């Protein structure tokens, strides 16, 4: 197999005036992931290359970066699937760079926390002294299940054109998680959760570009979550009832 030309964007904000691309030649093997190529370059060519990873199996969400121009997980992207003999690795957009391919996800997790990503209950006594489980039926679970697969890698937010222009916009990940918990029939905190999102920098800033859903490595559709959240706010009903209401809606007949 021919060697792989691996171009890495190098940038240390504490030292460098601007980012630069540095190319490394890496021996290629079948099934090699981009993360493995990066680690080869770091371990055998330049120990100072900054790259973040942990699980190596698309579970922890640490290795998000832009690969050949598209946000991807480095551990989940095989060199072969990219085609050609060269790979370009850059840090994710919409985040500050800590070093090279490592970005600062602080604001991302802050926005995630702001939507209260947990089931909120008002029965404090039951929670303090539980007498039974909080059950959810399979068909009710199916409405939110895909959103539970989010691994918080930040790829969706890096692809979002609205985040790029409005730093106060919560972003697709946080909004999809807001929907995930608000639509859960066991949750009682929807009104409070939605209050701050139904605002100038909230859900209405999403113009449904869909790039978040396009890049999600776990098959989550955050754009759908945002639209369902909008529907919930417009209908004024809990998401499961809003769904029923939308079925009753009839689009006006167009004149021909
Ligand atoms: Fe955990 Fe890639 S290293 S998702």
> What's the gap in Å between 54 CA and the centre of ligand 1?
5
Ligand 1 center–CA 64 separation, angstroms: 8
In terms of Cα–Cα distance, which of 181, 185, 210 is closest to 193?
181
pLDDT score recorded for residue 249 = 42
- The answer, yes or no, to whether any atom of ligand 1 lies below 6 A from the CB of 55, is yes
- Structural domains in the chain plus CATH codes: 4-103 (3.10.20.30), 106-249 (1.10.1060.10)
174 lines ligand 1 (CB under 6 A): no
Confirm or reject: Cβ of 58 under 6 Å from ligand 1. yes
pLDDT in tens, the chain (256 residues): 789 999 999 999 999 999 999 999 999 999 999 999 999 999 999 999 999 999 999 999 999 999 999 999 999 999 999 999 999 999 999 999 999 999 999 999 999 999 999 999 999 999 899 999 999 999 999 999 999 999 999 999 999 999 999 999 999 999 999 999 999 999 999 999 999 899 999 999 999 999 999 999 999 999 999 999 999 999 876 666 556 544 544 444 444 3
Q: Where are the alpha helices (DSSP H) in the chain?
A: 34-44, 79-82, 106-114, 124-128, 138-142, 155-159, 161-165, 172-182, 190-195, 211-215, 222-235, 239-248
Q: Is 154 in the pocket of ligand 1 (CB under 6 A)?
A: no
Tell me how far the alpha carbon of residue 168 lies from the centroid of ligand 1, in angstroms. Answer: 27
Cα-Cα end-to-end distance for the chain? 62
65 lines ligand 1 (CB under 6 A): no
């Amino acid at each position: 197999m021919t060697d792989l030309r691996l171009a890495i964007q190098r940038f240390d904000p504490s030292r460098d005036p601007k980012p630069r691309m540095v190319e490394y030649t890496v021996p290629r093997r079948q099934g090699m992931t981009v993360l493995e190529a990066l680690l080869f370059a770091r371990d055998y060519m330049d120990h100072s290359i900054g790259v973040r990873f942990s699980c190596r199996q698309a579970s922890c969400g640490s290795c998000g970066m832009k690969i050949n121009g598209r946000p991807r997980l480095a551990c989940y992207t095989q060199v072969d699937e990219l085609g050609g003999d060269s790979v370009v690795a850059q840090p994710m957009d919409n985040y500050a760079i800590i070093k090279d391919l490592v970005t600062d996800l602080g604001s991302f997790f802050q926005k995630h926390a702001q939507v209260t990503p947990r089931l909120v209950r008002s029965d404090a006594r039951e929670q303090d002294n539980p007498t039974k489980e909080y059950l959810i039926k399979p068909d009710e679970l199916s409405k939110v299940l895909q959103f539970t697969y989010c691994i918080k890698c930040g790829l969706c937010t890096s692809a979002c054109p609205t985040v790029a222009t409005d730093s106060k916009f919560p972003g697709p990940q946080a909004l999809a998680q807001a929907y995930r918990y608000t639509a859960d029939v066991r949750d009682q905190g929807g009104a409070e959760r939605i209050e701050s999102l139904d605002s100038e920098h909230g859900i209405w800033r999403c113009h449904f570009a869909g790039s978040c859903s396009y890049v999600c490595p776990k098959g989550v559709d955050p754009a759908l979550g945002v639209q369902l959240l909008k529907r919930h706010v417009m209908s004024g009903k809990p998401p499961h009832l809003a769904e029923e209401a939308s079925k009753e809606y009839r689009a006006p007949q167009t004149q021909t």
